[in-house]
């Protein structure tokens, strides 16, 4: 039996449960359990029982476990990537399934290697105070369907490093991916330290509402994030929320369009556009507008889309029918307004799978639905501007503020402009290039709290001052 089949057999149920289908082919992949509120409560109880012994280990011992987790992920990398491709839809190649699994290992090793020494706050001869970081207890991790393994690692591994136990609820759209990753991780961890519950949004609500969970980490929509804030207020839970984004990119008039075209493409279309911090609205200076649109269209037209298991493809289907309908509605709004379809925009509705063609929409009103709503799919609106101040105003006028980018051949000019943009991260001449050492978080209604690096470790710990 192949490692893929062994993994699938370990996490699926033969009878009952819920069917999981490949979004590219409609093929039945397997069945996942559908658990109840009682199962959530039991998982929280297991986590609370296991957490004190886990926290009692030395930091070096927990780091050793994390490095062995990374080893286990790498040993199962191809099986995990195949399952991820079948369930989520993303191709094996390009910045997709194999890339995501590799990132899981990297985002495990970096938190394991990140030092977090005791901080001496003051030592002036009269007063001495130290800052320590203690475990919180149980962390609830509620993970999305677009990067279901990588984002799970972002939440789980820092929590474990700091001595917490975890209860994770994967998205109901990508439950297999969540269960498979947890199965591999749990070949290393003591029983009860990582617990996974499979089911719908009601299970996530149960985790949020539990008085026995000290922290919630959530990646998903702003709408759901607001509900989590409300539901968690009774116990004053700590929250890290990475919510919806509608990232703007501003292209200045001093760039070489052909030189930036491929980076623009991947900034917008990584994971077929299903990325929170993807480039979702592009503002281009009038002097080079037509050249940028042409160069971007040339790159986009040669990127193959299809079944993720085909080694040639780098773009896949949308993960679910709900997301297909959102993209289709927003593109239809742009077309009805008279915007120019440069590429795509006309899906084959009789085809198998949730494939939406790579779509570029030019000469669009900056307040069209496709611009102001997050499409979360392979459709990019390109807005022409003549006044840079107006472009900045348009970039800043939405409630979203996860990421943004500035494209210029003059780095200082780009940095000055970046400082005027309201976003948690502003990239220069790239978009969405996250790094496990660099803190990441949103502004405005794109959430709050930081992940990655030292800041990410501190976010899943209780600061404690010891003075005297």
Query: 34 Cβ partners below 8 Å, 6+ apart?
Result: 16, 17, 18, 198, 199, 200
pLDDT number for residue 193: 99
Average pLDDT in the chain: 97
Instruction: Provide the annotated active-site residues.
Output: 242, 276
Q: What is the DSSP letter of 106?
A: H
In the three-class reduction of DSSP (H, G, I as helix; E, B as strand; rest coil), residue 104 is classed as helix
How do residues 160-219 score in pLDDT, each as one tens digit? Answer: 999 999 999 999 999 999 999 999 999 999 999 999 999 999 999 999 999 999 999 999
* Domain architecture of the chain: domains with CATH: 3-243+446-467 (3.40.605.10), 247-435 (3.40.309.10)
Helix (H, G, I), strand (E, B) or coil at 305: strand
Given a cut of 90, whether residue 15 has pLDDT beyond it is no
Between CA 268 and CA 278 the distance in angstroms is: 5
pLDDT at 426: 98
* Distance (Å) of CA 284 to CA 46, 307, 358, 455: 53, 33, 19, 34
- Specify whether the backbone of 251 is left (phi greater than 0), alpha (psi in -120 to 50) or beta: beta
- List CB contacts of 370: < 8 A, sequence separation 6 or more: 330, 331, 333, 334, 339, 361, 364, 379, 381
Q: Read off the pLDDT of residues 252-281 as tens digits, 9 standing for 90 and up.
A: 999 999 999 999 999 999 999 999 999 999
Average of per-residue pLDDT across 54-74: 98
3-state secondary structure of 67: helix
**Is a pLDDT exceeding 80 seen at residue 1?**
no
Structure tokens, 130:
């130290």
Alpha helix segments (H runs only) across 302-356? 321-336
């Amino acid at each position: 039996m192949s490692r893929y089949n062994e993994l699938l057999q370990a996490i699926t149920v033969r009878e009952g449960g819920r069917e999981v289908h490949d979004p590219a082919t409609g093929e039945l992949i397997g069945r996942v359990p559908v658990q109840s509120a009682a199962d959530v409560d039991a998982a929280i109880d297991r986590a609370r029982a296991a957490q004190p012994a886990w926290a009692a280990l030395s930091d070096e011992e927990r780091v050793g476990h994390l490095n062995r987790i990374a080893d286990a992920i790498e040993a199962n990398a191809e099986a995990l990537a195949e399952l991820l491709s079948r369930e989520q839809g993303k191709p094996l190649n390009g910045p997709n399934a194999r890339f995501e699994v590799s990132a899981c290992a990297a985002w495990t090793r970096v938190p394991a290697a990140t030092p977090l020494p005791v901080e001496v706050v003051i030592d002036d001869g009269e007063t001495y105070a130290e800052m320590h970081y203690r475990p919180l207890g149980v962390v609830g991790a509620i993970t999305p369907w677009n990067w279901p393994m990588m984002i799970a690692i972002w939440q789980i591994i820092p929590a474990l490093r700091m001595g917490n136990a975890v209860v994770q609820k994967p998205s109901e759209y990508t439950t297999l991916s969540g269960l498979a990753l947890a199965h591999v991780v749990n070949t290393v961890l003591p029983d009860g330290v990582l617990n996974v519950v499979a089911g719908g949004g009601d299970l996530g609500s149960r985790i949020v509402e539990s008085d026995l969970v000290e922290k919630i980490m959530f990646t998903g929509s702003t709408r759901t994030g607001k509900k989590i804030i409300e539901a968690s207020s009774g116990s004053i839970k700590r929250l890290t929320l990475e919510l919806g984004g509608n990232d703007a990119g501003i292209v200045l008039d001093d760039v070489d369009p052909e030189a930036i075209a491929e980076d623009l493409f991947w900034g917008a279309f990584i994971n077929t556009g299903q990325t929170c911090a993807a480039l979702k609205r592009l503002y281009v200076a009038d002097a080079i507008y037509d050249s940028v649109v042409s160069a971007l269209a040339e790159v986009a037209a040669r990127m193959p889309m299809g079944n993720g298991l085909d080694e040639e493809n780098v773009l896949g289907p949308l993960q679910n029918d709900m997301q297909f309908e959102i993209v289709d509605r927003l593109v239809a709004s742009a077309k009805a307004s008279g915007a120019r379809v440069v590429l795509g925009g006309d899906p084959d509705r009789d085809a198998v799978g949730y494939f939406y063609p790579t779509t570029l929409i030019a000469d669009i009103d900056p307040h069209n639905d496709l611009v102001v709503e997050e499409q979360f799919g392979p459709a990019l609106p390109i807005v022409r501007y003549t006044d840079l101040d107006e472009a900045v105003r348009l970039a800043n006028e939405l409630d979203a503020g996860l990421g943004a980018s500035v494209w210029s051949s003059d780095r200082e000019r780009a940095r000055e402009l970046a400082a005027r943009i309201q976003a948690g991260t502003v990239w220069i001449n790239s978009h969405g290039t996250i790094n496990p050492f660099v803190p990441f978080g949103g502004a405005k209604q794109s959430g709050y709290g930081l992940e990655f690096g030292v800041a990410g470790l501190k976010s899943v710990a209780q600061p404690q001052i010891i003075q005297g």
